[in-house]
Structure 1
Amino acid sequence: MADIAERAAVSRMTVSLALRNHPKISESTQVRVKEAAKELGYVPNPYLSVYGSHIRSAKQKKLQAQIAFLGYERIRETPNLSPSVMTLPEAIYFGAAQQCQRLGYGIERVLLDKNDISEKRMDQILMSRGILGVLLHRNFYEGKDWDLSWEKFSVAAIGSSNVPSAFHSVDCDRQEGMMRLLNEIHCLGYKRIGFAILEQQDKHQRHTNRSAVSDYQLQIPEKRRVPHLIEAQLTKKTFLQWVHKHRADVVIGGVAKMYDWLLEGGWNVPKQIGFVRPQLMPEQSSFSGICYDHTAIGAAGIDAIVGQINRNERGYSQQTRRILVSGEWQEGSSTRLMSKGRKRPVFHLA
């Protein structure tokens, strides 16, 4: 540190702050210090960083800072709620709140109203509450295009479909999840796998589920391939006609009510036809499909923000990171074993 200070003609304190991108140090000084550090072959000592974090946590200081959770959905007080009865936003918030507590941060829920609050007022609210980091819930940009003073905050977003590409984000690994789902129903012995989804859902998912199903179809005989059903508006009549025409023996349904449509159409699930969901909600424990830990997604969002705070990174990033959280197969009761023994999976997954 002393050598860098001498080479850059600054104090040791300035070197320490400059290497951590502290806003009090001018950009030109930061560049000069970092160039000097590079010339001298300096690299941070990770053990000292871990030790410093341990000392800070051991002292049990008051909360370091506040992180805001911005979204449109109302969230109940969650500490006494079971994850099985939480809504998706509640599970994400609960995971974020737990991680904030573990890391010594506070969390503020900020309920948005696209009609009753200006961007200037929202900036004032966040600054007055001492907010350093902002976690954007998945529907943040669905209400309006918020143009806040992002340069004042470390930001991460839940989801990625409506999020500016300059923000770090955390999302479900839908493609890997769909590949896992396809492996499971293939191993159960289903041969004619149908995929039905709304156009808006397909767009929101950036076509990841559809691409995984299309990839699977390339690996099976053409006569067993069921055309996708992707419509702007899906009706029960259209859905049932598609199932009947293409003789699907299992449906990957993007909408939960498709299960009811099958029952109303006279099918016995799972005896006559299987039904699976690509992304199960907490309350859908009876369905077969992929279950994502949304509390882990919320926690990962906080990790992304705290990392930026520690590096003094704020606002838009020149090189964003997207964290994907894997899902797990939930057996449920809407599928069954179709053959005497399980088949070998199609996709090789960890």
Structure 2
Amino acid sequence: MKRETPSHLTRRQILRRACGITATALVGSMALTQAGTASAAVAASKRFDLTDASTEWFREILLNETRILQSFAFDNINKHLYTAQLVQDGRLLPGETRAFTGADRSTNGDLCITRLDWQGQIIGRMYLKGFGHGVSIGAEPSGNGTYVWTETNSVPDGNNDGYGTKVARFKFTNGAVLQPDSAQVTRYDPVPGSDHNTVAVDPVNNRIAHRYRLSGTWKYSLYDLAAFKAGTFTALATITQPSVLTGPTFQGYTTMGQYLYTLDGTAYTYDNTGKQTSTSNTYVTSIDWNTGTVYERRLSNAGESLFYREPEGLAIQIPDTTNPAAARLFLGFGSEESVTRTDKKASFYYKDLLV
């Protein structure tokens, strides 16, 4: 049966429906049972409506490495996109006497940071040896340059994947290869004894979120960015990860205003003929920094036609810096062309309805 598009919809609304989202609402009573503990006093703000359909920005662009996108961040002043990947198998970096396998790179926590313009073209890359897994990164504009925030001082977990035990800040330098103790790297230890450290930057409110695991418990803390840079680790908010995020595969997070946003899910599965055998289990969740309560949790079908389609990262973009209220919540996905053509590509979709 032919389905007609209602005449009152704009072209943009039509496109957004085409990249749509299927919503399974988390009702209020359930949200209360999923709340983590919290200690905070973050000013009230608008939130992204997670029922809002997702608009495609880039579909299946190439990054510097052939491995999956891990996370990404925006420099909204200089209009750059930064992505994190684990270094690919066989890559020989300056100063190395032999090439390492992909498994070696994962264990050591060796990352590639790729810089792209907002047309999707690669305009730089640098390498980080012994930093971590790249679950989340941040970008901080500085004049014509950018400081990148990542995890660092990687330690392998039980699966031999390296994750950071500290936080790092360094200026993006095309072609550079950094170690955790490189002079260009400033390291921070906001929660001594924690592991799986990652960060995300709120470019609207100049804050930084820190996710970490301490004594087996996942927590998030929110800081003023300037204070954090100065080494003052007085959190504006600290919450325990809600139990609804305990089972799913965690894939990234970001923050804006009063709300923390998380991404979880896994890639589609296929049989040996390439027929898809699973459906989307990608969820976006918003959490109130003040209470630790899950406000909304929605199933996303953004990019549902991608082959493989693994959710990888969240970030905030401000397309017009004169109007920071017109921010976008971006979702990242890694994909493959087919069962046999497995080099990874990256796709990005966004929501921009604030309520």
Asked whether the two chains share a fold, i.e. TM above 0.5, the reply is no
Structure number with the higher helix fraction is 1
TM-score bracket relative to the smaller structure? under 0.3
Question: Taking structure 2 as the reference length, what is the TM-score of the superposition?
Answer: 0.24
Structure number with the higher strand fraction is 2
